Amino acid sequence: MNLYLFRTLNEVRQMTGKWLGEYNGEPPFESPSHLAQQEYRMTKNNAVTS
């Protein structure tokens, strides 16, 4: 992200938080079994505890 696109530090934090939520919540096109990171962690944790 370009520093000059934002007026305040809070604006940067808001945009970063939004991006992070999207990054962790949406599966990438190349992901194995097409799972988002959060979903993959949940299935992996369930497999270990089962």
> Where exactly are the structural domains of the chain?
9-49
- Share the mean pLDDT of the chain: 75
Q: Provide the pLDDT for residue 50.
A: 52
Distance CA 35, CA 17 (A): 21
% of the chain at pLDDT higher than 70: 66
Q: Provide the pLDDT for residue 48.
A: 61
Q: Residue 14 belongs to what H/E stretch? A: helix 9-25
pLDDT digits 0-9 by tens, 12-24: 899 999 988 887 7
* pTM attached to this predicted model: 0.46
User: Angle, to 10 degrees, between the axis of helix 9-25 and the axis of helix 37-49?
Assistant: 50
Going by the DSSP 8-state scheme, the letter that residue 29 receives in this structure is T
Distance CA 48, CA 12 (A): 37
